[in-house]
Amino acid sequence: MDTLQQFYINGRWVSPTEEATTHAVINPANEEQIATLPLAQAADIDAAIAAAHQAFPSWSALPLEKRLGYMEKILEAYQAHLPQMAEAISQEMGAPITLASKVQAPMGLAHLKTALAIAREFPFEEAVGQSLIRREAAGVCALITPWNWPMNQIMCKVAPAMAAGCTMVLKPSEFAPLSANLLTQIIDEADLPAGVFNMVYGDGAAVGPLLSSDPRIDVVSLTGSTRAGESVSREAASTIKRVSLELGGKSANILLPGCDLEQAVTHGVRAMMANTGQSCNAPSRMLVPEDQLAQAEQIAAQVCDAIVVGDPSDDATVMGPIANRRQYQRVQTMIEKGQQEGAKLVAGGTGKPEGIDKGYFARPTVFSEVNNQMTIAREEIFGPVLVMIPYDTLENAVDIANDSDYGLSGYVFGDDSQARQIAARLRTGNVHINGAGPDIQAAFGGYKQSGIGREWGRFGFEEFLETKSLFLPS
């Protein structure tokens, strides 16, 4: 990928405008350097914003079918490069190749297909009363994405923004640049008008404020940490622009009395350990009836023992490494914190799994006898660490679930009717009932410090539109 040394600005691959600091891209499975990136400076960001700003009037005015025609080309090329995309994701952030091939890479494709379908049916104009309501492109968008689900989080922004008629500057995570680089090559092959799509690498703490504060940017869409969300909101405030934030989570998984405990615990542990626990909506707090806690602990330990941790390129691997050294160190610190606070270690613990001495591999870890005031129950760990919290009544379970700074996701397992009643009481943006998976037609986003706005499906599409009322004479 020779273009890793360049940014994509105004329809061309370009070198940094000045001597740039660099970032080493590390394969987390073996700790070996696989690439070096230039990190954008202020002049590079300015050039990218200027290109998107100049391209917006003509792109937003282009007939919808012409915009979608370009996107069809991107879809076709993405589909052709699906194996390479999966390989890039696996190398850059350690996802097992089976997960990268079956879920991670295809999620980008799914969001692209969804945006195309929605755009073709979307009511860009409709009569309301005696007026005409128009929904128009919101403007120039800064899209800032993380490393844990690279293509899911890039394409659920890029695809609807592009279909809506917006132009954009994408800043992917410097920890996951290979997939973003490949996507940019795919978009370049589609021959979009210059400036519609721009991509720069950069350090989020430095680049985020430059993008968020610029008056030429109309929309900032960030997926990242709560701290990053605070920074973006603060920097965007002076120019009063739309900010969409998808942030962290500490999702409760309530196992109802009378549920199939074996099935519920097994599903909960596996869901937590998927993607090495690096999902903002992971079911990281398992709430268990107190009289069933001991049995749940035994099941959880058995499930963890069966999880194959190892080389992401091996088809048998279930759990790969944590994506980078910084995150690995945080996970180890949080496991130590759990032990210091007196939680019962049911499985795993600090250090690497037995037989692994290289790479950022962590052990699937479960704590029990946790109370909701412990650090490991309050803070997002973002690694393969599950906490089990006992409860005595359903009222108590709901109170514990809602007693969190976050409100991204929730999980309920048990009688369907009762589960739906409990789900309705959870202060979260989405709830998975009895093992249901995500639905990209539905809304994704959170309450409280889990964010502002929604992504996915029609709801994510609307984030990139402004509403205009034309008051017509009677």
Give CA–CA dist 279/247, Å, rounded: 11
Task: Please name the residue ranges forming H helices in 275-393.
Answer: 293-306, 325-340, 375-378
Q: Which among 217, 255, 278, 288 is positioned nearest to 464, based on CA atoms?
A: 217
Distance set, CA 139 to CA 54, 58, 115, 120, 198 (Å): 11, 11, 17, 20, 14
Token couple for 155: 């394409």
346 Cβ partners below 8 Å, 6+ apart? 297, 300, 301, 366, 367, 368, 388
Partnered with residue 243 across adjacent β-strands are: 220
- Sign of the CA dihedral running 248, 250, 255, 261: positive
Residues 338/367, Cβ–Cβ less than 8 Å: yes
Give CA–CA dist 191/47, Å, rounded: 19
Distance set, CA 196 to CA 161, 193, 200 (Å): 10, 6, 14
**Has 246 been annotated as catalytic?**
yes
Catalytic choice (246, 380, 455, 462): 246
Distance set, CA 52 to CA 45, 151, 233, 265, 353 (Å): 11, 21, 21, 48, 47
In degrees and rounded to multiples of 5, residue 182 shows phi and psi of -65, -45
- Sign of the CA dihedral running 147, 7, 110, 430: positive
Residue with tokens 């405990």: 261
Q: Strand order in 131-137's β-sheet?
A: 125-128, 131-137, 465-471
Give CA–CA dist 434/446, Å, rounded: 20
Give CA–CA dist 414/209, Å, rounded: 45
Give CA–CA dist 173/200, Å, rounded: 10
Residue 121's Cα: distance from chain center in Å?
26
Active site residues per annotation? 246
